[in-house]
Structure 1
């Protein structure tokens, strides 16, 4: 007589994540026929606008601290958009899976982790498309230090996850906080050095801007793509990872503390 083998907690969690990933992936890629178009068109449109503006201001000089302007901006935007996904899409992650909480194996934190993983995968595909397109147009888009660039990209991914874990809880418990986060998207893009370099700003201003971990993340990513790139003074991988570990730890603790309230409708 055969006995049914019980699954380990990890096997159960992995099955839950796989099922939720497939559900989310189908919803994101199939429900909206224009989804892929907007993911590629948005950075292209912003880059085009900034090229026109910069050309009018500074003429043909498009070098930024030993990096071509267009690749420099593409890399920065791709990194920032990955963080922005964690800030924006995490707000509806728990509500979108409310019906699934009827199954005791599914927890609110699972929805955030799966959505962050999918966002990262999609943004990685878009980045690869831009790299291939840039190389085919004879632009310096292939990373000089591929391993460092990959590690920096994963670091940004984990930073986005940390933001997502915290914001998913705060926006569920205090809905008004989600609106505030949405309003911060454009200011964050400006002060993070995404579209304009911050190297030339006064030291007094840089002291405050360098408290922003996104600046460190984007500068390190650019360093992986352009080996001679002059990063902003004070850029630190250690500082970035202290933020990553702190955000993810606080976010997980918040999910544990408020798990029952997050499951409630």
Structure 2
């Protein structure tokens, strides 16, 4: 399978890079899910089950979301974008160390490995988001208030995860123990990222602290794009863009610095 990765021809760098990433993308897809449909079913079933459980607990408690927001869709649309970020960050961070053998091919760069793996995670999670939206439309007639803004929010969530994955992946080349810290770090982020709540209902002091986290802005923007005037959003698109650009630039620089270290260890 490795031998099928196309080599880059002089004069067609962009076209060859697309072909390389496409081949790596298919390799990642087969590695992640294989030929069994069970893997795809579980990928969709995990966020569905979590949304159902949280919605059920919320319903049994007798409480209601403000402005009659649909409980299942509210929690599902909060968790799936975070799951996208978490999957891209945690799995992307290990793309370098788990694909060392591929680096013997001159046509493959560390950035190619990152893009292929993270693109696969983004597309899969985006498909799950689409299923939640279709479910909301069919069951409760809930249509996204601003589809374009919702797509932008999902893209920003993926780009934040991609940038952080590159940073963590390059750090792991120099400090191997950091690989064990990635998963706990992403889980710690969940309760402070407004995944299951709106910051409007937090105390002002807590709200100010939470808004330092760019993921909070993304989730608030997604809720505004989904539910419109029924929620009071708190987000700054410019602030999120600064984080996206900064993480991706630092991540690409880190990968460039990590590549010679890998060559010396070959």
Q: How do residues 219-234 of structure 1 correspond to structure 2 at under 5 angstroms?
A: 219-233=220-234
Q: Which residue of 2 aligns with 1:62?
A: 64
Q: Give 1:14's aligned residue.
A: 18
CA contact (8 A) 1:82 1:120 kept: yes
CA distance in 2, matches of 1:128, 1:107: 32
Question: CA separation in 1, counterparts of 2:36 and 2:249?
Answer: 34
Is residue 110–residue 259 contact of structure 2 (8 Å, CA) maintained in 1?
A: yes
Q: Distance in 1 between matches of 2:57 and 2:65?
A: 15
Q: Distance in 2 between matches of 1:240 and 1:262?
A: 32
Q: What's the counterpart of residue 44 of structure 2?
A: 40
Divergent runs of 4+, >4 A: none
Return the structure number with greater relative CO, CA threshold 8 A, min gap 6.
1
Q: Report the more deviating stretch, 131-140 or 15-24.
A: 131-140
Q: Does 1:241 align with 2:241?
A: yes
Deviation of 1:228 after TM superposition, in Å, equals: 0.9
Q: CA RMSD for the aligned pairs?
A: 2.0
Secondary structure of 2:135 counterpart: helix
- Helix, strand or coil at the partner of 2:228: coil
Partner of 1:129: 131
Is residue 88 of structure 2 the alignment partner of residue 82 of structure 1? no
Give the equivalent residue in structure 1 for 2:187.
Answer: 186
Quote the Cα distance in structure 1 between the aligned partners of 2:151 and 2:130: 12
Give the distance between the partners of 1:205 and 1:14, measured in 2 at CA.
44
1:107 maps to 109
CA contact (8 A) 1:94 1:262 kept: no
Cα distance in structure 1, aligned partners of 2:36 and 2:259: 31
Unaligned runs of 5+ in 1: none
Per-residue deviation, 1:239:
0.6
Distance 1:65 1:236 in 2: 24
